[in-house]
């Protein structure tokens, strides 16, 4: 369990006022810029307008060698293989380079591996290429670490040009060229290229006209860059600002068909629309079937074929959602059977036969729900487990994996996401090893944080703000959509919407009333009495109905106005330390009095079932208590009662679900494991 921490840094209002005056900006927009570290007129102009300067592709190390070898293949009519990857970045990179080479008259073929084959160029692919008479392999979105495969290609008389954007190893593969912005000797000022971005720069170098290449392939570049969650800052943000316009105006039959099935054909595209509407459907091909379907969709010139392929991807995406939900439910069952896992610093959940294409999605959902790094592993019939891990700001799972690599067959990734392969027999040892690594590097684990850009008064929530927010687009990684604080609001009413799955809250302050929506939360899961003063973290979104534009206020998090969230999270962390036997507090600091026990039990019994966060429960039990029930005592009591089968406790990460169980006679709490631990046994 955890409590999200709210980060609010008082912005420099004097600096914002000066920026607003010099640049003739709206004061709120100037304040938003200052919170992002944009403090000079030059920086403000660059951010809001963009420089729209062309990058020099020859700033990349080895770009000249790559161009020379590809041109040689074109001139000599050599056979070229473009080798990609099964996600949206690799797919769009494959389509971009293959289409360009084909238009140049090249003898070119492409290949994108299926997910079950694994990431990157394989030795079997090299042998296949040799059989097909391939003279040159150009990798996109992979290849920088494939020393064995490139060596084999050389032995077979095949040259290789690597284009990639992943972190290179100490030793580069023996390719004709290795074009990667992450190379230490790469002079490109922008390092935030996706794989499709590196392929795009290769085409710019080959063509010698970056503007023409952007106008032709900007839609693919944008789709892959946003889909791979690359930082939208600096040059890349300028490029994506233009790219989104090109994607929105794209006449590519596959993209038009994809927009139709995603119900965004008539909507202006934004980075968010691309991320949540178009990208999942392309990725569904690689997750659930054959990524070649997505390649063919983006390659086809036939409108009818594009529509058919887009509908197939739509069906795949729906199946992906169904499979994800089914496996997620099984994962929750596994956690319920092993509640001690939830006290680990790193959550590791394993099962048999789970679909490999959705493990990353489920790991991300669990990280969001439980507020801790998570690995989801699927054991195959061969006794080998494959899995995905996701993390949160402040904890690098890649570095943690390096500390326990002796338990793994192979691993890879970066700070926030990773993939692993290990023997099923080593899963328990891996769970222990990665938690030991986490304990060594992070005695106090980070928790999810919500950044509050600025505090808004309720009267400042208006349509005018939407215009200001649009000036911050494109928003995404590195340039997130701002979140606002609405503090000390009175909660006037709570109403169920969406068949009871969501709720609408009526809030007010200083005579100004606001309606806000909290999705994926039922009214009974927010046990805050009407009339309470609350703080809310919200986003402001455009709502268009019958041509009329209004502001939709979406609640991201809500809590009591006077809660000390940092102190409360510290007590939650102390409870987890205690459950891991890393902390043994004095009994009087943990065990409540008989009167407190009776009071809490009576409250829960009267509720029937309790749903809410630790904060909500702490406030409710202390509302009319004589002695304060600290968070540590509260959580310890629930654990003791759970062990004694007095109360069913479901730790849902960001909230608790509690139910008093029927009992007969008295129960001896001193026999529970936690009680004995506190006694020093």
Query: What CATH number is associated with residue 645?
Result: 1.10.10
At residue 654, the pLDDT reads 83
Q: Is the residue at 303 inside a domain? A: no
Q: Is the residue at 233 inside a domain? A: no
At residue 665, the pLDDT reads 80
At residue 116, the pLDDT reads 85
Distance CA 76, CA 583 (A): 71
Distance CA 21, CA 43 (A): 15
Query: Does residue 18 sit in the same domain as residue 78?
Result: no
Q: What is the pLDDT of residues 306-332, one digit of tens each?
A: 999 999 999 999 999 999 999 999 999
Helix (H, G, I), strand (E, B) or coil at 377: strand
Region 110-124: mean pLDDT is: 92
At residue 81, the pLDDT reads 98
Query: What CATH number is associated with residue 362?
Result: 3.10.310.30
> Can you list the alpha helix ranges (DSSP code H) found in 77-209?
88-103, 123-131, 147-155, 195-207
SS3 content of the chain, % helix, strand, coil (to 5): 50, 20, 35
Query: Does residue 493 sit in the same domain as residue 544?
Result: yes
CA distances (Å), 641 to each of 159, 668, 672, 676, in order? 67, 10, 9, 14
Query: Does residue 457 sit in the same domain as residue 445?
Result: no
Distance CA 90, CA 159 (A): 21
Q: What is the pLDDT of residues 342-368, one digit of tens each?
A: 999 999 999 999 999 999 999 999 999
Query: Does residue 197 sit in the same domain as residue 64?
Result: yes
Query: Does residue 117 sit in the same domain as residue 206?
Result: yes
Q: Which helix (H) or strand (E) holds 136?
A: strand 136-140
Q: Is the residue at 471 inside a domain? A: yes
Helix (H, G, I), strand (E, B) or coil at 223: helix
Query: How far from the centroid of its chain's Cα atoms is residue 65's Cα?
Result: 36
Q: Is the residue at 518 inside a domain? A: yes
- Boundary (domain end) residue, out of 534, 560, 586: 560
Residue 220 banded pLDDT, cuts 50, 70, 90: very high
Please enumerate in sequence order all residues whose Cβ is within 8 A of that of 439, keeping only pairs 6 or more positions apart, or say none.
345, 582
Region 551-556: mean pLDDT is: 96
Q: How many CA atoms lie within 13 A of 192 on its CB side?
A: 19
Query: Does residue 595 sit in the same domain as residue 652?
Result: yes
Residue 204 in contact with residue 190, Cβ under 8 Å? no
Distance CA 528, CA 335 (A): 28
Query: Does residue 445 sit in the same domain as residue 473?
Result: no
- Boundary (domain end) residue, out of 544, 560, 576: 560
Residue labelled with tokens 């070229």: 80
At residue 52, the pLDDT reads 64
Query: How far from the centroid of its chain's Cα atoms is residue 376's Cα?
Result: 15
At residue 118, the pLDDT reads 84
Region 539-551: mean pLDDT is: 87
Instruction: Look at strands 410-413 and 417-423 and give their pairing.
Output: antiparallel
Residue 680 banded pLDDT, cuts 50, 70, 90: confident
Query: Does residue 594 sit in the same domain as residue 665?
Result: yes
Helix (H, G, I), strand (E, B) or coil at 79: strand
Residue 288 in contact with residue 320, Cβ under 8 Å? yes
Residue 438 banded pLDDT, cuts 50, 70, 90: very high
Q: In b/e form, how buried is each residue of 218-235, taking b as 16+ CB within 10 angstroms?
A: bbbbbbbbbbbbbebbbb
pLDDT greater than 80 at residue 111: yes
Query: Does residue 473 sit in the same domain as residue 348?
Result: no
Q: What is the pLDDT of residues 508-536, one digit of tens each?
A: 999 999 999 999 999 988 999 999 999 99
- Boundary (domain end) residue, out of 541, 560, 579: 560
Q: Is the residue at 19 inside a domain? A: yes
Residue 134 in contact with residue 81, Cβ under 8 Å? yes
Total tally of structural domains belonging to the chain: 5
Torsion of CA 297, 299, 303, 308, to 10 degrees: -20
Instruction: Look at strands 347-352 and 374-379 and give their pairing.
Output: parallel
Distance CA 147, CA 174 (A): 7
Q: What is the pLDDT of residues 592-622, one digit of tens each?
A: 888 888 899 999 999 889 999 999 999 999 9
Q: Is the residue at 313 inside a domain? A: no
Q: Is the residue at 606 inside a domain? A: yes
Distance CA 372, CA 614 (A): 17
Residue 138's domain comprises: 57-211
Average pLDDT, the chain: 94
Q: What is the pLDDT of residues 272-303, one digit of tens each?
A: 999 999 999 999 999 998 999 999 999 999 99
Distance CA 285, CA 407 (A): 32
Distance CA 505, CA 492 (A): 8
Helix (H, G, I), strand (E, B) or coil at 529: coil
Query: Does residue 348 sit in the same domain as residue 372?
Result: yes
At residue 167, the pLDDT reads 84
Distance CA 311, CA 316 (A): 9
Angle made by CA atoms 621, 631, 673, in degrees to the nearest 5: 105
Tokens standing for residue 192? 């935030």
Query: What CATH number is associated with residue 497?
Result: 2.40.50.460
Backbone angles phi, psi at 264, to 5 degrees: -130, 30
pLDDT greater than 90 at residue 545: no
pTM: 0.90
Query: Does residue 556 sit in the same domain as residue 653?
Result: no
Region 529-555: mean pLDDT is: 92
Tell me how crowded residue 616 is: count the other CB atoms within 10 A of its CB.
21
Q: What is the pLDDT of residues 372-399, one digit of tens each?
A: 999 999 999 999 999 999 999 999 998 9
Helix (H, G, I), strand (E, B) or coil at 539: strand
Q: Is the residue at 238 inside a domain? A: no
At residue 414, the pLDDT reads 80
Q: What percent of the chain has pLDDT over 90?
A: 84
Query: Does residue 594 sit in the same domain as residue 476?
Result: no
Distance CA 612, CA 523 (A): 10
């Amino acid at each position: 369990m955890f409590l999200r921490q709210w980060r609010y840094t008082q912005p420099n209002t004097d600096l914002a006022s000066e920026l607003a005056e010099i640049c003739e900006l709206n004061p709120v927009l100037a304040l938003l810029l200052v919170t992002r570290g944009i403090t000079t007129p030059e920086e403000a102009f660059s951010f809001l307008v963009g420089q729209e300067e062309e990058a020099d592709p020859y700033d990349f190390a080895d770009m000249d060698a790559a161009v020379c070898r590809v041109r040689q293949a074109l001139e000599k009519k050599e056979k070229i293989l473009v080798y990609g990857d099964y996600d949206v970045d690799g797919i769009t990179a494959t389509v971009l380079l293959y289409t360009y080479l084909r238009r140049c008259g090249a003898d070119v073929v492409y290949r994108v591996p299926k997910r079950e084959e694994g990431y990157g160029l394989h030795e079997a692919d090299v042998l296949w290429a040799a059989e097909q008479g391939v003279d040159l392999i150009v990798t996109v979105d992979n290849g920088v670490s494939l020393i064995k495969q490139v060596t084999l290609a050389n032995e077979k008389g095949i040259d290789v040009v690597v284009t990639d954007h992943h972190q290179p190893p100490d030793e580069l593969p023996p390719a004709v060229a290795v074009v990667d912005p992450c190379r230490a000797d790469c002079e490109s000022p922008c390092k935030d290229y996706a794989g499709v971005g590196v392929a795009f720069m290769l085409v710019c170098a080959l063509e010698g006209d970056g503007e023409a290449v952007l106008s032709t392939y900007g839609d693919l570049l944008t789709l892959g860059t946003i889909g791979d969650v690359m930082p939208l800052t600096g040059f890349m943000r300028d490029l994506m600002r233009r790219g989104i316009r090109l994607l929105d105006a794209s006449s590519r039959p596959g993209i038009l068909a994809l927009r139709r099935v995603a119900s965004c054909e008539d909507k202006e595209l934004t980075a968010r629309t691309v991320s949540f509407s178009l990208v999942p459907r392309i990725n569904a091909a690689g997750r659930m079937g054959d990524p070649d379907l997505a390649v063919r969709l983006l390659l086809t010139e036939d409108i009818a074929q594009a529509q058919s392929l887009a509908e197939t991807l739509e069906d795949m995406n729906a199946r992906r959602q169904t499979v994800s939900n089914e496996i997620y439910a099984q994962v929750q069952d596994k956690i319920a059977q092993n509640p001690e896992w939830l006290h680990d610093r790193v959550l590791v959940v394993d099962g048999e036969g789970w679909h490999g294409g959705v493990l990353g999605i489920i790991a991300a959902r669990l990280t969001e729900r439980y507020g801790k790094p998570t690995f989801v592993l699927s054991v195959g019939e061969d006794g080998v487990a494959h899995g995905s891990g996701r993390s949160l700001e402040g904890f690098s799972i890649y570095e943690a994996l390096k500390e326990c690599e002796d338990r793994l067959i192979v691993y890879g990734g970066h700070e926030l996401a990773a993939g692993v392969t290990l023997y099923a027999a080593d899963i328990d040892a891996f769970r222990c090893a990665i938690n030991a690594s986490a304990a060594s590097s992070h005695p106090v684990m980070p928790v999810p944080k919500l950044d509050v850009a600025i505090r808004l008064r309720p009267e400042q929530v208006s349509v005018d703000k939407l215009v200001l927010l649009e000036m911050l687009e494109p928003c995404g990684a590195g340039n997130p959509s701002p979140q606002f604080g609405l503090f000390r609001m009175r909660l006037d009413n709570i109403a169920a919407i969406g068949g009871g799955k969501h709720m609408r809250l009526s809030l007010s302050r200083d005579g100004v009333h606001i309606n806000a929506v909290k999705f994926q939360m039922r009214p009974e899961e927010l046990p805050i009495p009407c009339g309470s003063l609350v703080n809310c973290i919200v986003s402001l979104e455009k709502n268009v109905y019958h041509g009329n534009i209004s502001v939709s206020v979406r609640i991201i998090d809500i809590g009591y106005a006077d809660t000390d969230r940092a102190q409360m999270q510290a007590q939650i962390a102390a409870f987890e330390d205690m459950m891991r036997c890393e902390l043994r507090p004095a009994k009087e600091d943990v065990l409540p009095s008989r009167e407190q026990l009776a009071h809490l039990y009576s409250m829960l019994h009267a509720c029937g079932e309790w749903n809410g966060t630790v904060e909500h429960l702490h406030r409710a039990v202390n509302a009319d208590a004589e002695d304060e029930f600290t968070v540590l005592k509260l959580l310890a009591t629930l654990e003791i009662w759970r062990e004694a089968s007095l109360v069913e406790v479901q730790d849902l990460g960001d909230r608790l679900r509690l139910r008093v169980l029927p009992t007969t006679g008295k129960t001896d709490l001193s026999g529970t494991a936690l009680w004995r631990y506190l006694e020093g046994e």
